[in-house]
């Protein structure tokens, strides 16, 4: 399974257009001036918090893999998760687009079946959803009670409520009707797999039964994760720590440019801004930045250029750093393979 290079290049081209437009709107000169004044200790805080986030979410994935009888060491988990972030950050629609590639990377690195790896990363992403909506709800509730709610906050509140209510309902209905979902996936994948098998000489087309067995294995792996309450609790705790670390990284970014923002502002902005990662841009690049800037201006009470500078520092540590590290991990695994 390989990346679609043309789609990736086109996605980054679109993201650069969006980022360029954002820089023009907030004022390029003021943005660069603000970044040049950034305090080094604040930048170090951003990087430190980003490392805590990466390690926490990597250990959450390792906990899920352990529940599936595929244990890995902590250092290996961090390397694998960096590769996962790389695949998410260079494919459109963020995690939704990167999960199949991430599962292949996990499968080869953790020496487990592909359907187990796919279940592991799907479970980890689902687990990450729980604390994100919880933290965002705490933040928007605070602002609704303690401060005047502007249009931006009302929009953010609506987005959080829709996710907090809609996603669990969709997940429950999908799980309750999983046999139908399994059959539907098998019906969809069988013709595509046979077509690929006919066109690629070195590949043989799998039978429908083989595909159904793989899909059934995926759902059984999800059941194993859901049934291990202790591992589930540990993974949720690590995921929560990761979200808090991400928010702290943004708080340090604001502090680096001389802004003392209320912590609740970043607690709302980070999980709500992450929703923009589902845009058809690599890892949500451009969309997430626009969302974070739009939220920080009213929540932190700063100018657009100041918000943009803080977001640039934050995304440098949260998006670009793991993308570069993960790219090296993915390249090393590909070369070894």
pLDDT digits (tens, 9 = 90+) for 254-285: 999 999 888 888 988 898 888 777 777 887 88
State the pLDDT confidence band at 286, using cuts at 50, 70 and 90.
confident
Q: Is residue 278 part of a domain?
A: yes
Q: Is residue 195 part of a domain?
A: no
Give domain status of residue 205, yes or no: no
- Whether the per-residue pLDDT at 191 is higher than 70: the answer is no
DSSP for residue 262: -
Split at pLDDT 50, 70, 90, the class of 1 is very low
**pLDDT for the residue numbered 265:** 87
Q: CA-CA distances (angstroms) from residue 10 to 14, 274, 281, 282, 314?
A: 6, 22, 9, 9, 24
pLDDT band at 46 (very low <50, low <70, confident <90, very high): very high
- Give the sign of the dihedral formed by CA 91, CA 155, CA 17, CA 271: negative
Q: Give a yes or no: residue 246 inside a domain.
A: yes
Q: What is the 3-state secondary structure (H, E, C) of 21-50?
A: HHHHHHCHHHHHHHHHCCCHHHHHHHHHHH
Q: Average pLDDT in the 69-74 region? A: 87
- Render pLDDT for 96-135 as a digit per residue (tens, 0 to 9): 667 778 888 888 888 888 888 888 888 888 888 888 888 8
Closest CA to 144 of 303, 271, 299, 269: 299
Q: Token match 């979200």: residue?
A: 243
Cβ–Cβ < 8 Å for 269, 250:
yes
165 is a domain residue: no
Q: Is residue 144 part of a domain?
A: yes
Does residue 174 lie within any of the structural domains? no
Q: Are 81 and 61 in contact (CB under 8 A)?
A: yes
Structural domain includes residue 158: no
Span 240-261, average pLDDT: 94
Give me the number of domains the chain comprises: 1
Residue 269's domain comprises 7-151+228-336
Show contacts of 137-146: CB within 8 Å, 24+ apart.
Answer: 137/161, 137/164, 138/264, 138/267, 139/264, 139/265, 139/267, 139/268, 140/268, 142/264, 143/264, 143/268, 143/299
* Overall pTM > 0.95: no
Q: What is the mean pLDDT of the chain?
A: 79
């Amino acid at each position: 399974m390989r990346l679609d290079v043309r789609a990736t290049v086109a996605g980054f081209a679109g993201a650069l257009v969006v980022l360029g437009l954002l820089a023009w709107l907030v004022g390029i000169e003021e943005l660069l001036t603000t970044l040049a004044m950034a305090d080094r200790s604040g930048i170090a805080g951003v990087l430190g918090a980003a490392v805590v986030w990466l390690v926490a979410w990597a250990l959450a994935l390792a906990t899920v893999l352990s529940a599936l009888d595929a244990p890995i060491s902590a250092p290996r988990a961090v390397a694998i998760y960096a590769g996962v972030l790389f695949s998410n950050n260079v494919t459109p629609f963020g995690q939704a687009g990167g999960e199949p590639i991430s599962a292949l990377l996990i499968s080869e690195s953790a020496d487990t079946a592909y359907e187990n790896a796919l279940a592991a990363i799907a479970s980890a992403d689902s687990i990450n959803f729980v604390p994100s909506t919880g933290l965002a709800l705490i933040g928007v509730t605070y602002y609704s009670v303690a401060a005047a709610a502007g249009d931006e906050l009302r929009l953010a509140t609506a987005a959080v409520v829709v996710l907090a209510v809609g996603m669990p309902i969709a997940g429950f209905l999908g799980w309750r009707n999983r046999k139908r979902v399994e059959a539907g996936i098998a019906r969809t994948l069988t013709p595509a797999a046979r077509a690929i098998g006919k066109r690629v000489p070195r590949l043989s087309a799998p039978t429908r039964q083989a595909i159904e067995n793989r899909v059934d294995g995926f759902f059984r792996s999800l059941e194993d994760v859901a049934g291990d309450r202790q591992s589930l609790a540990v993974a949720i705790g690590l995921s929560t720590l990761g979200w808090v670390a991400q928010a702290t990284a943004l708080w340090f970014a604001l502090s680096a440019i001389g802004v003392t923002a209320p912590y609740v502002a970043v607690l709302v902005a980070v999980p709500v801004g992450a929703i923009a990662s589902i845009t058809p841009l690599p890892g949500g690049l451009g969309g997430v930045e626009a969302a974070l800037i739009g939220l920080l201006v009213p929540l932190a009470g700063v100018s657009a250029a100041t918000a943009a500078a803080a977001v640039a520092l934050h995304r440098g540590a949260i998006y670009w750093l793991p993308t570069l590290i993960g790219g090296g991990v993915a390249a090393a695994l590909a070369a070894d393979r």
